[in-house]
Amino acid sequence: MTITSKIWVLIEATAPIFTRAGLELLTPARDLADQSSQPLAAVVMGCHVEETARQAVALGADEVLVLDHPAFAQYETMCFVHALSWLLETYRPSSLLISATEHGRDLAPRLACRFHTGLTADCTQLSIREDGETILWTRPALGGNLMATIVCEHQRPQMGTVRPGVFTQRTPDPQRTGTILPIPQVPILLNSKVQTLQRLTGEGDAFTFDGKDVIVSGGLGMQSKEQFSLIWQLAQALGGVVGASRGAVHEGWVPYAHQVGQSGATVRPKVYIACGISGAVQHLAGISGADTVIAINSDPDAPIFQVADYGIVGDALQVIPALLDALSQQK
């Protein structure tokens, strides 16, 4: 079997949240392939992934390598590492993009270590050198105060992880054609030293910001978990979902799945309302894709106002109840 693509994207089709994150990567990867005049391949792993493979073609993949087996129905570290290591060794791509989900962050460094190659984590921009092969991986550094561009000069494959939500999924083209290639001979690790006895879903594990038009986020300015409940009320009144700053999550006011920023989620809502959030660079890095930012903060010099489209200087604990009253009167 001949596989011509040198730029690969991994799509882990074990759950919708991971599938979406992988499909998003086809957007920057398609641009890289076009810049370098190379075909693009998607590696789809999971069980019963025929529809995901077709989606990958519609979103820009020229070739789709399908690893479809019950062993891939759920993510298991060594099983995925074993299969992908064989695939990379066999077909020798020049680069591999992996979404920086919790699974991707576990998988990518293990693969990079096996191939003695570099790994650039949490990239936000991708481009390609004039040589048509070397990828320029750009990511925030030093707490988000500068952007670092990193290259892997000699070792292959070049590898990087990209944060979910940084790139917008392309509009699918149902007329687009591509080659779907099942890989039946992929080795399955049946005697893994790790066995899954039970899967427990924690609070917030199923939460995602994907597709949400309105996000209402709270920070330390909400002062307590009890008063953070105002964020939930405002989000419900606006038909949105709840986000939070790192500080609010650290205080235990809201689960980590709701954290927005460099160490949380990158979001792209139509409206982002920041309540009692000062606007640290790490938080601003996660909301740069929002269409409209509304800030509520008692400090008129808070950095959040520098990026806000609309600002309210006032105590969020007083402003939010007033907003809730106004919204209730409109019903």
d(CA 248, CA 255): 9
Residue 191, in any domain of the structure: no
86-92: long-range contacts (C-beta < 8 A, 24 or more apart)? 86/186, 86/187, 87/43, 87/183, 87/186, 88/115, 88/157, 91/3, 91/65, 92/156, 92/157
Residues 144 and 231 in one domain: no
Q: Are 316 and 222 in contact (CB under 8 A)?
A: yes
Which amino acid is residue 215, in one-letter code? I
Does residue 194 fall inside a structural domain?
Answer: no
Q: What is the CATH number of the domain that holds 296?
A: 3.40.50.1220
Q: How many separate domains does the chain show?
A: 2
pLDDT for 161: 93
- Examine residue 199 and state whether it is found in any structural domain, yes or no: no
- What is the CATH classification number for the domain harbouring 24? 3.40.50.620
Q: Which of 49, 57, 11 is nearest to 30 (CA)?
A: 57
pLDDT value of residue 163: 84
* Per-residue pLDDT in tens (0 to 9) along the chain, 331 residues: 556 668 999 999 988 888 888 999 999 999 999 988 889 999 999 999 999 999 999 999 999 999 999 888 888 888 899 999 999 999 999 999 999 888 999 999 999 999 999 899 988 889 988 887 889 998 877 766 678 888 988 888 999 999 888 888 889 999 999 999 998 888 786 666 777 777 776 655 567 787 789 999 999 999 999 999 999 999 999 999 999 999 999 999 999 889 998 778 888 899 999 999 999 888 988 898 899 999 999 999 999 999 999 999 999 999 999 999 998 887 6
pLDDT on residue 66:
93
Q: What integer pLDDT is reported at residue 268 of this predicted model?
A: 87
The Cα–Cα gap between 255 and 69 comes to 33
Any domain includes 188: no
Q: How far apart are CA 220 and CA 252, in angstroms?
A: 11
| Residue where the block lists tokens 């809730």 | 324
Residues 6 or more apart in contact with residue 70 via CB below 8 angstroms: 47
Query: Do 93 and 18 belong together in one domain?
Result: yes
Asked if 118 and 37 sit in the same domain, the reply is: yes
Specify whether 290 is located in the same domain as 177.
no
Note the pLDDT of residue 295: 95
173 and 293 housed in the same domain: no
Indicate whether 160 and 226 sit together in one domain.
no
Cα 44 from Cα 53, distance rounded (Å): 7
Q: Can you give the residue range of the structural domain that contains 52?
A: 7-182
Residue 192 within a domain: no
Q: What pLDDT score does 187 carry?
A: 79
pLDDT for the residue numbered 95: 93
Whether the link from the prior residue into 157 is cis, omega within 30° of 0, is yes
Q: What pLDDT was estimated at residue 145?
A: 67
Residue 21 lies in a domain: yes
- The pLDDT value given to residue 239: 92
The per-residue pLDDT for 143 is: 63
